[in-house]
């Protein structure tokens, strides 16, 4: 083995990250100044030091507050360009990135400005050789009607996304509420994925599979509490996109060496590794692999998760084979 999985020299796919979660404090301050949006402090180090969370909602409150600085197409371009640069610096060769348009539109930003900015950064990254696409995430606590309206309003931008997902406050907003909007997305040829089992019980994961007919699960941690469900996920080979640093930072997992991803792997579940919100949880995808290396996870397991990431990516067979061949020649 020449390089560890965490190395930028090992190609990898990142399938679970939120563009809005890439808003590093330095960019946050720049955008706040550019747009005249007040911040509690303009010192990026002090802002970073505040990122200690007791649970998912603590994080989401800060995450959504910070998004008040996002106003223009240029802001969205700069945010996505920052992430896509960081991703490439970490060896990412395939990026599938979530974004939350409902937040921005709710703050009075035209959807066209959001998509102009994000779209320009993704087009630039593609020209530079990165394979990358966007996934529209519905904000589940805004409800199913708002999600349905967003899908309707998104029609002019339909070709800029490859799929839909569901994120934000989980408990109290079970996947079944979104059955019709996911069915509409499927009928339009969009891929489907869903945050489930991060804080919600195994029933949330079951509903994501049965009611939303998702192709992948994001987090999925609490599925390990239900052996039958875990067996089913393994039998159906549903990839679970896990974010180790996020799960420890948000206390979904008390210690890295007790992360449910190990039980998932033992059960035969396909597991991938991603950063979730790299500006908030201590690092990019490389740092997430490094955290697993630090607790002694074998390279065989970690390289297996990278292989799975290409297998789980929403790409065609030819592209998949090219990524896997590059991985084989790098390890």
Is residue 224 within 8 A of residue 259, CB to CB? The reply is no
Using CB under 6 A as the binding rule, the residues of this chain from 181 to 240 that contact ligand ADE are 195, 198
Among 5, 11, 18, 290, binds ligand ADE (CB under 6 A): 18
| Binding-residue total with Zn ion (CB under 5 A) | 1
* Nearer of residues 18 and 104 to ligand ADE, judged by Cβ: 18
Among 92, 276, 289, 306, binds Zn ion (CB under 5 A): 276
Cα 174 from Cα 26, distance rounded (Å)? 35
Number of H helices, E strands in the chain: 15, 8
For CA atoms 198, 200, 202, 204, give the dihedral sign.
negative
Q: Which residue is nearest to ligand ADE (CB)?
A: 167
Task: List Cα–Cα distances, 252 to 53, 278, 299, in angstroms.
Answer: 11, 17, 25
CB atoms within 10 A of CB 281: 23
Just list the catalytic residues.
198
**Cβ at position 275, least distance to ligand ADE in Å:** 10
Is residue 14 close enough to count as binding Zn ion by CB under 5 A? Answer: no
* Nearer of residues 31 and 56 to Zn ion, judged by Cβ: 56
Burial class (CB in 10 A: 0-12, 13-18, 19+), 1: exposed
* Nearer of residues 75 and 276 to Zn ion, judged by Cβ: 276
Among 6, 66, 93, 168, binds ligand ADE (CB under 6 A): 168
* Nearer of residues 114 and 135 to Zn ion, judged by Cβ: 135
Q: Which helix (H) or strand (E) holds 245?
A: helix 244-249
* Helix (H/G/I), strand (E/B), else coil: 12: strand
Q: Which residues here bind ligand ADE, judged by CB under 6 A?
A: 18, 21, 56, 167-168, 195, 198, 246, 276-277
């Amino acid at each position: 083995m020449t390089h560890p999985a965490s190395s930028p020299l090992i190609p990898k796919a990142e399938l679970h990250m939120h563009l809005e979660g890439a808003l590093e404090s330095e960019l946050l301050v720049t955008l706040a100044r550019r747009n005249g949006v007040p911040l509690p402090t303009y010192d990026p180090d002090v802002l970073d030091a505040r990122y200690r969370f007791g649970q998912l909602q603590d994080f989401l409150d800060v995450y959504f507050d910070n998004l008040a600085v996002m106003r223009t197409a240029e802001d969205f371009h700069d945010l996505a360009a920052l992430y896509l640069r960081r991703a490439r610096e970490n060896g990412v060769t395939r990026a599938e990135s979530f974004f939350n348009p409902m937040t921005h539109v709710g703050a009075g930003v035209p959807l066209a400005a959001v998509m102009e900015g994000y779209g320009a950064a993704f087009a630039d990254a593609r020209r530079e050789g990165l394979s990358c696409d966007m996934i529209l995430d519905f904000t589940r606590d805004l409800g199913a009607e708002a999600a349905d309206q967003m899908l309707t309003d998104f029609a002019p931008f339909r070709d800029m996304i490859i799929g839909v997902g569901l994120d934000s406050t989980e408990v109290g907003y079970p996947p079944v509420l979104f059955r019709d909007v996911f069915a509409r997305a499927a009928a339009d040829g969009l891929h489907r994925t869903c945050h489930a089992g991060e804080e919600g019980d195994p029933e949330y994961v079951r509903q994501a599979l049965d009611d939303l007919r998702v192709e992948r699960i994001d987090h999925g941690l609490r599925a390990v509490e239900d052996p039958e469900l875990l067996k089913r996920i393994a039998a159906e080979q549903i990839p679970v996109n896990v974010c180790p640093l996020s799960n420890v930072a948000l206390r979904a997992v008390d210690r890295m060496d007790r992360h449910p991803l190990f039980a998932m792997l033992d059960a035969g579940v396909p597991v991938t590794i991603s950063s979730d919100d790299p500006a908030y949880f201590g690092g990019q995808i490389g740092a997430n692999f490094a955290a697993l290396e630090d607790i002694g996870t074998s390279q065989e397991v970690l390289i297996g998760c990278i292989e799975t990431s290409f297998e789980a990516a929403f790409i065609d067979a030819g592209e998949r084979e090219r990524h896997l061949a590059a991985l084989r020649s790098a390890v």
